[in-house]
Amino acid sequence: MIEPATKSEASVSQLRCIGCGRTALPDRFRCEHCRDLLEIVYPGWEENSVAGQDASSLKQLWRERRTSLDPADQSGVWRFREVLPAIAKDRVITIREGNTPVYELPHCARKAGIKHLLAKHQGMNPTGSFKDTGMTVAASFARQAGYRWVACASTGNTSASMAAYAARGGLHSLVLIPDGKISWGKLSQALDYGAITCQLKTDFDGCVRVLNEIVQRMPVYLLNSVNPYRVEGQKTAGFELLEQLGWEPPSHIIVPGGNLANSSAIGKALREMKQLGLVSRLPKISVIQAEGANPLVRTIRETGGKKLIPVHADTLATAIRIGNPASWKKALRVIQESGGTVEQVSEVEIALAKAEIGAEGIGCEPASAVTLAGLKKLVKQGFVGSDETVALILTGHLLKDSEFTLKFHRGDLFEGTPQSGESGALKPFQRAPIVLEPSVNAVIDLLQSAER
Ligand code: F0G
């Protein structure tokens, strides 16, 4: 039996509109007055302390919980519960998310032209993506609020995560995904975890439109990333990264951009850490998009961030194949506040960066590799200096999209696409499987030729 949250652990939270600042009811997603998105705020927080605990006692408490046997403490999200909305412990759905590793990437650093490159690998979460850190909080809230059904539109990872957390928490789940444009690995997860899964003959943005209507008509709780509880959970990756770096911020954090909630979450984490005295300065936070799914890049370059320019999205990095990102204003604020930037990368640049991360024995899915591809560009432009420490947020596991990886190594990833002429740069990284007779000599010959 898990104990209920004690009063001193719980932070009293409120939903507040990011546009007009009005407060909203706890299960809303948009402001009833101006329709802007909502975010969670903690009115009871004091400067440099939460619930009577100062920065150094919080740091110690969070570290100590790593040795606890309590499921909430074993979660890399809930061990930071002082900075999360209060959920009764017996309502918490956890699959021991978070606690993901930070790796050094020395070869990728050299390729990018910097000395020190780190990767926080959120693909090492239970369902293989960063979505789990947010889903544990939002699904737990749904359970606490008494919902029986949860739903999401997804490019794949959200649906896999939501289906898992719903199953663990005894909730029913409805998934809307674009027909044909998500990886089989992600689809198979949603099916196995028991979601009702609909492939709609539209893209992600079309799925969002349909779902927004459904949640207004049915008692179904929306678990897309406009859900402010998801952002709270996802922000713990920022707290954990800083903890892993001894609370010494890197100079720069680079995040892939799709619906733009994760960059918002990491930025919120840094803002709050500064407010609570956990860190003394803020890193720059930059967002990288695929050229074929670049609404934030266009919005900033063409309107100075005043008005969203939706695009018709197309990229092989299907996780970020999003043209009308819901959280663009939140991400824009993070970039502007932190002094970061936005950049876009080509399909070939994404494939190359993914192979380079793979060749370090780490691997990630294509959408995560935009971070390294973008970093290379930012170094070339002089926006990132060679002596800066940069942390990439890798969002999904290599095995999420094995079709992309196999096609890459076989050399047919870009066959019949406009990029087929540019893919020569990828050759040195391609390792197609070699079919041989079952002969010892044949394998030894191959080994010897590989040594030469
Ligand atoms: N990386 C991966 C692996 C993703 O799955 C996503 C988003 C992103 C990056 C972008 O994050 O949307 O917060 O900017 N995937 C969503 C999904 C949309 O449905 O799984 P974002």
Contact 369, 111 (CB under 8 A): no
Paired tokens of 129: 């993506």
| Contact 256 CB / ligand 1 (< 6 Å) | yes
Relative to the CA of 265, which ligand 1 atom is closest? 13
> Where in 148-219 does DSSP place strands (E)?
149-153, 172-178, 196-200
Question: What is the spatial distance between Cα 347 and Cα 335, in angstroms, rounded to a whole number?
Answer: 24
Q: In angstroms, what CA-CA distances link 450 with 210, 426, 429, 431, 443?
A: 53, 19, 14, 12, 10
| Contact 161 CB / ligand 1 (< 6 Å) | no
Beta bridge partners of 386: none
Q: Euclidean distance between the first and final Cα of the chain, in Å?
A: 61
Pocket test of ligand 1: the residue of 124, 204, 262, 286 to mutate, having most ligand atoms within 8 Å of its CB, is 262
What was the pLDDT predicted at 350? 98
Mean pLDDT by 10 residues, the chain (452 residues): 47 93 94 96 85 92 96 97 95 98 98 98 98 98 97 97 98 96 95 98 96 96 96 98 98 98 98 95 97 98 98 97 97 98 98 98 98 98 98 98 97 92 89 94 94 79
The residues, any chain, with a CB within 8 Å of residue 186's CB and separated by 6 or more, are 154, 156, 157, 159, 160, 400, 401
The residues, any chain, with a CB within 8 Å of residue 21's CB and separated by 6 or more, are none
- Pair type for strands 102-104 and 116-121: antiparallel
Paired tokens of 183: 């990886």
| Contact 259 CB / ligand 1 (< 6 Å) | yes
Pocket test of ligand 1: the residue of 392, 395, 405 to mutate, having most ligand atoms within 8 Å of its CB, is 395
Kindly give the distance from the C-alpha atom of residue 448 to the centroid of ligand 1, in angstroms, as a whole number: 43
Q: What is the pLDDT of residues 119-171, one digit of tens each?
A: 999 999 999 999 999 999 999 999 999 999 999 999 999 999 999 999 999 99
| Contact 319 CB / ligand 1 (< 6 Å) | yes
> Where in 128-195 does DSSP place strands (E)?
149-153, 172-178
What was the pLDDT predicted at 5? 47
Q: In angstroms, what CA-CA distances link 322 with 124, 209, 296, 427?
A: 23, 13, 10, 29
* CB neighbourhood size of 43 (10 A): 10
Question: What is the spatial distance between Cα 328 and Cα 335, in angstroms, rounded to a whole number?
Answer: 11
Contact 225, 259 (CB under 8 A): yes
What was the pLDDT predicted at 10? 58
Q: What angle do CA 60, 64, 70 make, to 5 degrees?
A: 140
What was the pLDDT predicted at 44? 86
Helix or strand (DSSP H, E) at 210: helix 204-217
Question: What is the spatial distance between Cα 260 and Cα 322, in angstroms, rounded to a whole number?
Answer: 10
| b/e per residue 414-432 (b: at least 16 CB within 10 A) | beeeebeeebeebeeeeee
Beta bridge partners of 254: 286, 392
Kindly give the distance from the C-alpha atom of residue 225 to the centroid of ligand 1, in angstroms, as a whole number: 9
| Contact 260 CB / ligand 1 (< 6 Å) | yes
The residues, any chain, with a CB within 8 Å of residue 289's CB and separated by 6 or more, are 256, 257, 258, 295, 296, 297, 320, 342, 343, 344, 345, 370
Q: What is the pLDDT of residues 315-336, one digit of tens each?
A: 999 999 999 999 999 999 999 9
Q: Is the pTM of this model over 0.85?
A: yes
Helices and strands (DSSP H and E) totals, the chain? 15, 15
Relative to the CA of 256, which ligand 1 atom is closest? 9
Q: What are the phi and psi torsion angles at 423 (to 5°)?
A: -85, 5
Paired tokens of 325: 């990102």
